[in-house]
């Protein structure tokens, strides 16, 4: 009996193990199948009336925006689309996961560039509900990188924006924002928004790296009473602690760029204040384009800028919007052990908007002090050619990487200080000599360049007569060596160059059959140049010793064979 039991019991135990293993395997398989089915099912396109009505309000952009091909196919394949909320019959209640190619979405409340009537609360609330229903159903789309909200009035920032996992860019275009008091009713606020303050609400979007406002009219509220969920029920004591400590909840450090176009300067200051309300680990690139100023006493808050911005780009910016009274703060920061305040500073205007048309010594002196500090503490400075007069009287022994842009000619010149005795210049394609002359005649640039014994000039690409460029350079530069290097293959020639100073010119990266020198036009009155030809380079040297020893007696005139200047070997290499 014992023997029988010793054989049967292990058999039953083994059978139980097999059965339990099968049950467990079936359970895990069922769980795995159900989970995958929940993700796979939405990928199938639901042919319902609601979906068809939604697709009628969607428009493909970019490569798929044309009329060719099937419209539905274009919507599915497009990475950029636009959704019209006005044409949408109502809220959508289906997943948008099948549209997995969408990356950039523009959601418009109106097709016209106008502000929605703020007093029409019923219409605005309907628009917000439609907007939120779309955002909620985009939460599982892993490829959504950018959302632009355009031409609408908003009464809150939807909480669902926080749940889009890859949302790295958020744009507001022609948006008016004002808090609707009806949303303060219990059960509404905590389910719709994080805060009544637009900046506080946006800061909870963790993956956000790029934020822009274009032609917006936004009211800024105190955010201590507009939190959703648990924050809404915080006691008065803890609320007081939040105000004193400046704590505002989650503090993501991912924001890299903030851009403001046609926006009030006071609103920009408010953004900087809320951004700096607590210590942050990173600084941002701040872009301001054509700002407005409703209050003439409003100025760009440089103290907030220096605290949180390491790259400042100003376009069509009136320098009267900068109060020289803030310069003390700037000087304190720049003199506190920080070598550089800005990685880059840009002031690019299409006209002379930044010039100060005033006789006020304080304002003129303040502007000079501002530019002096900028040139002293920025790694890179990019300005328009109209800004050159503002720096002409500044006397610095060092220069940051300086870029001068001429928007009218679509050209740019880049000046880089390599050492105390060497400077590099990069010229864009076919730079006009008039632009180069305006740059070289600037006292600040001229003085700095002529303190260097050598200058290297990189020309991106050039075609035609380059004599004018050489005239400008050699007419102002008093150093010893000029090196000219062409970054792209160019076809250039020189003529009518007269009174060349005693400097050495080296031309590099020019194929021999792409360069010609007509010696008869050089007009050398006192110095006979020596020509050396090497691979992809031409060296025209001028001997100072020859000039001193021979003087006028050693002069070679055109009648003595200037046209026969080239040797047979050298002439064969030129056209």
CATH of the domain at 204: 3.80.10
Q: Is 104 contained in some domain?
A: yes
Q: How far apart are CA 15 and CA 524, in angstroms?
A: 109
pLDDT of residue 123: 67
Label residue 222 by pLDDT band (50, 70, 90): confident
Residue ending a domain, among 391, 418, 436, is 391
Select the highest-mean-pLDDT range: 209-213, 242-246, 251-255. 209-213
106 plus 193 within the same structural domain = yes
Q: Is 516 contained in some domain?
A: yes
Select the highest-mean-pLDDT range: 214-218, 442-446, 455-459, 512-516. 214-218
Q: According to DSSP H, which parts of 378-466 are helical?
A: 433-440, 443-449
Count of domains for the chain: 4
Task: Provide the mean pLDDT of the chain.
Answer: 70
* β partners of residue 431: none
From residue 356, give the alpha-carbon distance in Å to each of 234, 249, 296, 312, 359. 51, 43, 15, 21, 9
63 plus 82 within the same structural domain = yes
Spell out where 232-379 has E strands: 257-261, 284-289, 309-315, 344-348
Res. 155: pLDDT tops 80: yes
Q: Is 151 contained in some domain?
A: yes
Cβ neighbors of 567 (< 8 A, separation 6 or more) are: 531
- The percent of residues above 70 in pLDDT, for the chain, comes to 59
Res. 368: pLDDT tops 60: yes
549 plus 428 within the same structural domain = yes
CB-facing half-sphere around the CA of 387: CA atoms within 13 A = 28
Interval 448-505: pLDDT, tens:
888 888 888 888 877 777 778 877 887 788 777 777 777 776 666 666 555 555 555 6
Q: How far apart are CA 248 and CA 239, in angstroms?
A: 10
361 plus 408 within the same structural domain = no
The more confident residue out of 92 and 357 is: 92
pLDDT of residue 545: 35
Q: Lowest-pLDDT range, 48-62, 404-418, 474-488?
A: 474-488
Say whether 47 sits in a helix, a strand or coil: coil
The more confident residue out of 380 and 471 is: 380
Mean pLDDT computed over 62-79: 73
For the beta carbon of residue 262, count every other beta carbon within 10 angstroms: 14
Q: How far apart are CA 138 and CA 142, in angstroms?
A: 9
Residue ending a domain, among 347, 367, 391, is 391
CB-facing half-sphere around the CA of 263: CA atoms within 13 A = 27
Cβ neighbors of 249 (< 8 A, separation 6 or more) are: 200, 203, 204, 227, 231
* CA-closest candidate to residue 169, choices 99, 258, 109, 108: 258
> pTM of the predicted model, to two decimals?
0.74
Q: How far apart are CA 235 and CA 231, in angstroms?
A: 9
Q: Is 251 contained in some domain?
A: no
Q: Is 50 contained in some domain?
A: no
67 plus 177 within the same structural domain = yes
Q: Lowest-pLDDT range, 14-23, 66-75, 207-216, 230-239?
A: 230-239
Residue 510 Cα to chain centre, angstroms: 35
Mean pLDDT computed over 328-348: 61
Residue ending a domain, among 338, 356, 391, is 391
319 plus 379 within the same structural domain = yes
384 plus 417 within the same structural domain = no
32 plus 76 within the same structural domain = no
Q: Is 234 contained in some domain?
A: no
For the beta carbon of residue 245, count every other beta carbon within 10 angstroms: 10
418 plus 548 within the same structural domain = yes
Enclosing H/E stretch for 130: helix 121-136
Residue numbers of the domain that contains 263:
256-391
Q: Is 232 contained in some domain?
A: no
pLDDT of residue 230: 31
Q: How far apart are CA 166 and CA 145, in angstroms?
A: 6
Res. 420: pLDDT tops 90: no
67 plus 105 within the same structural domain = yes
Q: Is 411 contained in some domain?
A: yes
193 plus 269 within the same structural domain = no
472 plus 551 within the same structural domain = yes
User: 384 near 407, Cβ under 8 Å?
Assistant: yes
């Amino acid at each position: 009996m014992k023997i029988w039991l010793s054989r049967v019991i292990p058999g039953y135990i083994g059978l139980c193990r097999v059965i339990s293993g099968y049950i467990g395997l079936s359970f895990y398989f069922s769980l795995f199948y159900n989970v995958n089915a929940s993700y796979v099912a939405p990928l199938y396109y639901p042919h319902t009336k609601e979906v068809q009505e939604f697709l009628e309000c969607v428009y493909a952009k970019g490569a798929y925006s044309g009329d060719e091909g099937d419209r539905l196919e274009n919507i599915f394949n497009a990475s950029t689309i636009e959704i019209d909320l006005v044409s949408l019959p109502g809220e959508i209640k289906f997943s948008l996961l099948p549209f997995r190619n969408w990356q950039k979405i523009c959601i418009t409340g109106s097709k016209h560039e106008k502000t929605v009537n703020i007093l029409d609360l019923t219409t605005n609330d309907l628009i917000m509900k439609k907007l939120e229903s779309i955002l909620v159903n985009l939460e599982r789309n892993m490829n959504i990188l950018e959302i632009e909200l355009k031409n609408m009035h908003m009464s809150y920032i939807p909480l669902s924006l926080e749940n889009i996992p890859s949302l790295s860019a958020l744009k507001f275009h022609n948006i008016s924002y004002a808090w609707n008091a009806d949303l303060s009713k219990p059960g509404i606020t905590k389910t719709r928004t994080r805060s009544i303050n637009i900046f506080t609400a946006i800061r909870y979007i963790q993956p956000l790296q790029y934020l822009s406002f274009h032609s917006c009219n936004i009211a800024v509220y105190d955010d201590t009473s507009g939190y959703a969920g648990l924050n809404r029920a915080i006691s008065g004591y803890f609320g007081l602690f939040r105000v004193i400590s400046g704590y505002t909840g989650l503090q993501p450090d991912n924001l890299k760029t903030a851009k403001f176009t046609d926006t009030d300067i006071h609103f920009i200051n408010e953004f900087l204040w809320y951004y700096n309300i607590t210590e942050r680990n990173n600084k941002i690139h701040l872009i301001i384009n054509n700002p407005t100023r409703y209050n003439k006493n409003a100025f760009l808050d440089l103290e907030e800028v220096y605290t949180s911005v390491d790259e400042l780009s100003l376009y069509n910016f009136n320098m009267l919007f900068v109060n020289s009274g803030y310069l003390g703060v700037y000087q304190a920061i720049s003199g506190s052990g920080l070598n550089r305040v800005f990685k880059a500073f840009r002031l690019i205007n299409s006209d002379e908007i930044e010039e100060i048309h005033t006789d006020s010594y304080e304002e003129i002196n303040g502007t000079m002090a501002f530019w002096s500090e900028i040139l002293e503490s920025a790694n890179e400075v990019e300005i328009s050619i109209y800004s050159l007069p503002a720096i002409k009287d500044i006397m610095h022994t060092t220069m940051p990487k300086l870029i001068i842009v001429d928007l009218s000619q679509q050209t740019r010149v880049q000046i880089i200080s390599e050492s105390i005795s060497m400077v590099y210049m990069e010229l864009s394609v076919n730079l006009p000599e008039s632009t180069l002359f305006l740059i070289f005649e600037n006292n600040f640039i001229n003085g700095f360049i002529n303190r260097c014994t050598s200058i290297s000039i990189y020309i991106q690409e050039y075609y035609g007569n380059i004599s004018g460029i050489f005239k400008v350079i050699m007419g102002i530069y008093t150093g010893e060596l000029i090196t000219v290097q062409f970054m792209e293959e160019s076809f250039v020639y020189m003529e009518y160059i007269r009174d060349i100073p005693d400097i050495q010119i080296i031309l590099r990266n020019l194929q021999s059959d792409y360069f010609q020198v007509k010696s008869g036009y050089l007009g050398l009155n006192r110095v006979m140049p020596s020509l050396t030809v090497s691979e992809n380079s031409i060296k025209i040297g001028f001997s100072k010793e020859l000039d001193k020893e021979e003087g006028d007696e050693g002069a070679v005139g055109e009648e003595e064979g200037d046209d026969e200047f080239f040797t047979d070997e050298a002439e064969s290499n030129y056209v």
